[in-house]
Chain A
Amino acid sequence: MTPVRRFLCAWLVSLPLAWDSCGVQAAFSQAMDSDFTLNLPAGRKECFYQTMKRDASMEIEYQVLDGAGLDVDFSIFSPSGQLLFNDQRKSDGVHTVETEDGDYMFCFDNTFSTVSDKLVFFELILDNMDTDEDPENWKEYVHGIDTLDMKLEDIMDTINNVKARLSKSVQIQTLLRAFEARDRNIQESNFERVNFWSVVNLVVMVMVSGVQVYLVRSLFEDKKKIRT
Chain B
Amino acid sequence: MQPCVLALLLLALFCSRAPALYFHIGELEKKCFIEEIPDETMIIGNYRTQLYDKQKEEYLPASPGLGMFVEVKDPDEKVILSRQYGSEGRFTFTSHTPGEHQICLHSNSSKFSLFVGGTLRVHLDIQVGEHANNYAEIAAKDKLTELQLRVRQLVEQVDQIQKEQNYQRYREERFRQTSESTNQRVLWWSIVQTLILVAIGIWQMRHLKSFFEAKKLV
Of the candidates A52, A170, A184, the one whose C-beta lies within 8 Å of that of B171 is A184
Contact across chains for B160 and A170 when beta carbons are under 8 A apart: yes
Of the candidates B18, B133, B140, B189, the one whose C-beta lies within 8 Å of that of A22 is B18
Contact across chains for B125 and A34 when beta carbons are under 8 A apart: yes
| B-side contacts of A183, CB under 8 Å | 175
| A-side contacts of B204, CB under 8 Å | 209, 212-213
Of the candidates A37, A49, A142, A224, the one whose C-beta lies within 8 Å of that of B21 is A49
Residue of B nearest to A33 (CB): B131
Contact across chains for A50 and B175 when beta carbons are under 8 A apart: no
A16-B12, A181-B36 known; A194 and B23 CB under 8 Å?
no
Say whether B179 faces chain A, with CB atoms less than 8 Å apart.
yes
A166-B158, A194-B182, A220-B212 known; A12 and B15 CB under 8 Å?
no
Main secondary structure of the interface of B (DSSP, over half): helix
Of the candidates A205, A212, A213, the one whose C-beta lies within 8 Å of that of B197 is A205
Contact across chains for B15 and A159 when beta carbons are under 8 A apart: no
Say whether A15 faces chain B, with CB atoms less than 8 Å apart.
yes
Q: Given the complex of chains A and B, what is the CA–CA distance between A22 and B10 in angstroms?
A: 12
Residues 1-55 (chain A) with a chain B CB within 8 angstroms: 5, 9, 12-13, 15-17, 19-24, 32, 34, 36-39, 46-53
CB distance from B208 to the nearest CB of A (A): 6
| A-side contacts of B8, CB under 8 Å | 12-13, 15-16
Say whether A111 faces chain B, with CB atoms less than 8 Å apart.
no
The size bracket of the interface on B is 35 or more
The stretch from A70-78, A81-89, A172-180 touching chain B is A172-180
The stretch from B70-78, B81-89, B145-153 touching chain A is B145-153
A24-B18, A49-B21 known; A37 and B35 CB under 8 Å?
yes
Residues 88-137 (chain A) with a chain B CB within 8 angstroms: 119, 124, 126, 129
Say whether B22 faces chain A, with CB atoms less than 8 Å apart.
yes
Of the candidates B11, B131, B153, B175, the one whose C-beta lies within 8 Å of that of A16 is B11
Residues 140-171 (chain A) with a chain B CB within 8 angstroms: 142, 152, 155-156, 159-160, 162-163, 166-167, 169-170
Measured CB to CB, the residues of B under 8 A from A are 1, 3-4, 7-8, 11-12, 15-16, 18-24, 31-36, 125-127, 131, 133-136, 139-140, 146-147, 150-151, 153-154, 157-158, 160-161, 164-165, 168, 171-172, 174-175, 178-179, 181-182, 185-186, 189, 193, 196-197, 200, 203-204, 207-208, 211-212, 215, 217
With A16-B136, A21-B134 given, can you name 15 additional A-B contacts, CB distance below 8 Å?
A9-B1, A12-B8, A15-B8, A15-B139, A21-B136, A32-B18, A37-B34, A129-B18, A155-B147, A156-B150, A184-B175, A187-B175, A191-B185, A213-B207, A220-B211
